[in-house]
Amino acid sequence: MLNSEIKNSRDMILVVDDQPTNIKVIASILGQKYSLSFANNGVNALKILEKSNPDLILLDIMMPEMDGFEVCKKIKENPKTREIPVIFITAKSDIDDIIKGFNMGAVDYIAKPFNPVEMEVRVKNHLNLYHSKKEIEQINKEKDKFFSIIAHDLRSPFNAIVGFSQLLMDQVKSQNLEGIEEYAGIILRSSELVLGLQSNLLEWAQSQTGRIEFNPIYFEIDKLINDVAFLFDDIASKKSITLNIELIQNGSIYADKAMIGTVLRNLISNSIKYTKPGGAITVSAISVEGSMNISVRDSGIGIPQTAIDNLFRIDKNQSTPGTQDELGTGLGLILCKEFVEIHGGVIGVESEVGKGSTFTCTLPVKV
């Protein structure tokens, strides 16, 4: 009985009890809703925990070789298992034993003989608490990464703005005009980067707090693509990049126009950043089986597969300088993913190092 299982749902519970009758009763109560693993003593339970991480442990106190208190102590001493909630199952009603269990790190106890309703409620509540705690921890990690991105991405452009502004002032004072056009250009590009970061930051923050409004309307996707692409004509020309548009006629879509515009701006901006002078970028929209596929394809430097897996994750994402050392905000693709998913769509990328990348947003078309 070291590791028999009943698999029914996402949540997995390890039941540790030396009495087969108790295990059968618990299986009959919880087996339809949860995946259950069983151990008939503490030693076997610890062996199971070396290979798997259940979402909750039901642990008997009175067992041979190693009682439940000692098992719980070892569980809480192990960094890999210490966060797993432990509920003691016991025939004991002595308040001292109950307090001892809580002091060992248990979150609750269930008394024998088992009350099915009580067991279901206690298990459900502690599983909910456990998953909520994990979600909060993940949110905090993402928040820390978010602030790290902001601090990192603001530092470089502000350093450039301050440094070259001072240099510009000194040269003007000394009437030495050599290089001032170059310095002014650096200040301008750094200011534009800060402005782009501010825009993405505000939109991302609003999406996370639920304050950004989702206002879908019917509109022609080709007109929006043309309007957004027009904003990048000058930037693309300065880098000698050809910006092509391939559209469908009467490509009506039901979506939030502002959000899709933000997605397009970020994708086109990224493609320009990572495409070498003389390259080409193609923006297209194709209607396919009830969906609208919006793609931005470039002949840029491409993305390694190891980096693709982390592109849309704020806890992993990091900005990479462009082909002319353009700086990025690190938030653009994450924001694209947020906005596409709000529409019930998906965003993906295909890329080959040295040959280019294609980002595709697939949005459902409402008829």
Q: Which of 148-152, 267-271, 312-316, 358-362 has the lowest mean pLDDT?
A: 148-152
Asked if the structure places residue 134 within a domain, the reply is: no
Q: Is the pLDDT of residue 204 over 70?
A: no
Q: Is the pLDDT of residue 322 over 80?
A: no
Domain shared by 326 and 340, yes or no: yes
What are the angstrom distances between the C-alpha of 342 and each of 177, 202, 364?
51, 17, 11
Q: Is the pLDDT of residue 16 over 70?
A: yes
Residue 181: strand, helix, or coil:
helix
Please state the rounded mean pLDDT for residues 110-134: 92
Q: Which amino acid is at 180?
A: I
pLDDT for residue 357: 93
Domain shared by 275 and 166, yes or no: no
Domain shared by 355 and 224, yes or no: yes
Q: Is the pLDDT of residue 19 over 80?
A: yes
pLDDT for residue 78: 93
pLDDT for residue 174: 81
What percent of the chain stands above pLDDT 90? 40
Report the domain count for the chain.
3
Residue 110: strand, helix, or coil:
strand
Domain shared by 171 and 236, yes or no: no
Strands 5-6 and 346-352: unpaired
Q: Which amino acid is at 329?
A: T
Q: Treating both helix axes as pointing N-terminal to C-terminal, what angle do 257-273 and 221-231 enclose, rounded to 10 degrees? A: 40
pLDDT for residue 96: 79
Strand 280-288's sheet: what is its strand order? 242-246, 280-288, 291-298, 356-364, 346-352
What are the angstrom distances between the C-alpha of 343 and each of 199, 269, 336, 362?
20, 22, 11, 10
Domain shared by 231 and 365, yes or no: yes
Asked if the structure places residue 175 within a domain, the reply is: yes
DSSP letter assigned to residue 73? H
pLDDT for residue 3: 44
Residue 189 CB neighbour total at 10 angstroms: 16
Q: What SS3 string covers 266-329?
A: HHHHHHHHCCCCCCEEEEEEEEECCEEEEEEEECCCCCCHHHHCCCCCCCCCCCCCCCCCCCCC
Domain shared by 238 and 259, yes or no: yes
How far is it, in rounded angstroms, from Cα 68 to Cα 87? 10
154 phi/psi in degrees, rounded to 5 = -80, -30
How far is it, in rounded angstroms, from Cα 291 to Cα 294? 10
Asked if the structure places residue 354 within a domain, the reply is: yes
Asked if the structure places residue 128 within a domain, the reply is: no
pLDDT for residue 233: 83
Per-residue pLDDT tens for 264-320? 988 998 899 889 999 999 999 988 878 899 999 999 988 888 888 778 776 655 566
Residue 68: CATH number of its domain: 3.40.50.2300
Domain shared by 327 and 367, yes or no: yes
pLDDT for residue 210: 61
Please state the rounded mean pLDDT for residues 167-196: 77
C-alpha angle 113-119-121 in degrees, rounded to nearest 5: 150
Residue 127: strand, helix, or coil:
helix
**What is the C-alpha end-to-end distance of the chain, expressed in Å?**
56
Tokens linked to 9: 């749902």
Asked if the structure places residue 135 within a domain, the reply is: no
Per-residue pLDDT tens for 338-352? 889 989 999 999 999
Q: Is the pLDDT of residue 179 over 70?
A: yes
Asked if the structure places residue 300 within a domain, the reply is: yes
- Beta-carbon contacts of residue 163 (< 8 Å; ≥ 6 apart): none
Domain shared by 270 and 208, yes or no: no
Which residue, of 212, 240, 265, is where some domain finishes?
212
pLDDT for residue 320: 67
DSSP letter assigned to residue 97? H
Q: Is the pLDDT of residue 7 over 60?
A: no
pLDDT for residue 324: 62
Q: Is the pLDDT of residue 171 over 60?
A: yes
Domain shared by 290 and 348, yes or no: yes
Give pTM, 2 decimals: 0.52
pLDDT for residue 4: 43
Q: Is the pLDDT of residue 200 over 80?
A: no
196 phi/psi in degrees, rounded to 5 = -65, -40
Domain shared by 228 and 358, yes or no: yes
Which residue, of 166, 194, 212, is where some domain finishes?
212
Average pLDDT for the chain = 83
Asked if the structure places residue 119 within a domain, the reply is: no
pLDDT for residue 1: 40
What percent of the chain stands above pLDDT 70? 80
Residue 343: CATH number of its domain: 3.30.565.10
How far is it, in rounded angstroms, from Cα 184 to Cα 289? 50
pLDDT for residue 127: 94
Domain shared by 226 and 207, yes or no: no
Query: If pLDDT is split at 50, 70 and 90, which confidence band does 146 have?
Result: low
Residue 206: CATH number of its domain: 1.10.287.130
Query: If pLDDT is split at 50, 70 and 90, which confidence band does 80 have?
Result: very high
Asked if the structure places residue 122 within a domain, the reply is: no
Tokens linked to 264: 């397009």
Query: Could you tell me the residue range of the domain that residue 90 belongs to?
Result: 5-114
Q: Which of 15-29, 113-127, 248-262 has the lowest mean pLDDT?
A: 248-262
Cis peptide before 113 (omega within 30 of 0): yes
DSSP letter assigned to residue 58? E
Q: Is the pLDDT of residue 126 over 80?
A: yes
Domain shared by 208 and 245, yes or no: no
H or E element in which residue 104 lies = helix 95-104
The label of the residue with tokens 């809480």 reads 76
The β-bridge partners of 109 are 88
Which residue, of 195, 212, 229, is where some domain finishes?
212
How far is it, in rounded angstroms, from Cα 94 to Cα 244? 78
Please state the rounded mean pLDDT for residues 62-73: 90
Please state the rounded mean pLDDT for residues 102-108: 91
The label of the residue with tokens 């069983």 reads 38
